[in-house]
A and B are shown apart, each in its own frame.
Chain A
């Protein structure tokens, strides 16, 4: 590889990295500027280290509690979705039984119903179950994902039938085959679903806000929303809160990046 080629690749990588890093840098810079600097034009790109924004944001809410709640809710929801998606996806894609296409159509049709329409009936249901203001109210109703079922159904439907026939010859049952053969092959799909669901759960706002009331069970997004007021927005306080709630996740990703990527590529090699 010539030096010119190496240089141009490095340059392209730098540009892409800068494009992705800039929004976060902008949030950090805003969090360290005064409100008027944050709204200034031309923009103030350099931070002026107004640490008071962090103090104001930090004392405004129980962030550690919010953060731990979010991790618990997002992790539990993701685990539950993976479990239900594997079971339903395999039933729809890997097994032959009458009415499966019709039932799969019914499952897909759930996508047509907007969540906001169901908020009030769901609130009444959770109230009747005595689940309001609990963790399970934020986990169980989101424990099945049509997106996850769809992806895994497509994957299992494309899996050659010979795998199942070979496993049968070795005396395997459906569950053994599913967990020992089909699921390991589906790791890349599972990671895709996990990332999608985890992010969705991490970012969910309306549902926890309506179904919960106290900070001891509420997630980070609820805390962040308090900076968006009824007569204006506290941009610098919001940015400071975004920094200290996002930073742990970013650090976790950086530390676990190698395992994360190898999980995807390793799963891919088994196909």
Chain B
């Protein structure tokens, strides 16, 4: 195990050294010192020290570039602060952004398209571009079909489960939502104070993990968030998916909470499952603390097959930056997607490696941590969230619909239709 880790570390170091020695298309010949600001929300756990480590490596390889990290505690604050900075005319050089935020920035001409950088003299080679996972390439574009973003901390949904519990009770890992519901019902016991799963459906101002888990279910049931310009989550598929969840809530097999309740319930051995993004892996491991065998499975499939949602943010570059700052920001964006860097990022944080070329560097790690392979394979079924300027608010209405169904026993069809109408009013008539 230790030998594997050493081998893996040595491989990164060699790759990084090779990159620095050869330039690797990353080291930028800045004649004058330049400082760039990077607004991000990688503030806790292993994310902060890993990003610090990567930025230090970048600065070492590019001595004339200084990167100032503007760390925010969460995405909500990051968005508010970035909006305020843009409004004041002092945006950061680059920032993490969800697709919807990027659309809003692009609409107000606050960010620049990245096509000229991607295909420019210091751009990505054909093999580098094709090594990016296909859903991530689609996710780099906005509604105009142009590249506006570079992938950074990407993830998708998986099922974390207590393998010891399932084995002890002779239960199989569910591969469909119907099976999942059955197992969740089987493990639910008032006497033992156990249930299947805890989720956070979010609120009007803050859609949460549970909201996007439902979107993954929606895809698995054959539904869509948008069909063309029309909000379409109130389709039959959406109603069936929400009804399945509502029945589980009514039976006590799914409980509602806040602040990653699934992690807490799984760690406390109250539930055998947590449905969350793969980026939560280090937190799940900490919550479990070796008490049982924690394993990862792909998301259950629905009548339309497997369904998943691409999660995490991309990087955008702001228009106010000088040419030298933009060049430096591009160099950092490119540095972060190099196989060595994205492999390090993935192994330490739980996020996905954004390029397929990183997987050979992670071979030893993947043997002992197959969860990354499962999450990477699940990308094939992961759909990006729509890049609409008000997508956060849109999903907020979906959160409200879920709460109304779970807590007020509202009819799923009525609640979803009402939420769809409210969301449609935000995005405009179809």
Contact = CB atoms under 8 A, between A and B. Distances in A.
A127 B88 contact: yes
Contacts of A36: 267, 286-291
Interface in A206-254: 206, 209-210, 213, 222, 225-234
Given A124-B88, A213-B70, A226 B43 contact: yes
Given A36-B287, A37-B289, A120 B267 contact: no
Main secondary structure of the interface of B (DSSP, over half): mixed
B45 A35 contact: no
A226 B350 contact: no
A120 B77 contact: no
A199 interface: no
Given A36-B287, A36-B290, A206-B77, A229 B43 contact: yes
A225 B290 CA distance: 27
A30 to B, nearest CB: 12
A64 interface: no
Which bucket holds chain A's interface residue count? 20 to 34
A120 B90 CA distance: 13
Find the residue from A36, A206, A210, A222 having the highest chain B CB count within 10 A.
A36
A138 interface: no
A19 to B, nearest CB: 24
Given A39-B264, A234-B44, A234-B45, A225 B287 contact: no
Interface string B81-97: 10111011110000000
B268 A41 contact: yes
Contacts, number: 108
A34 interface: yes
A119 interface: yes
A34 B45 contact: no
A40 interface: yes
Contact of B87 (A123, A222, A230): A123
A114 to B, nearest CB: 12
A229 B45 contact: yes
B72 A41 contact: no
A229 to B, nearest CB: 3
Interface of B: 41-45, 47-48, 70-75, 77, 80-81, 83-85, 87-90, 193, 259-260, 263-264, 267-270, 276-277, 279-280, 282-284, 286-291, 350
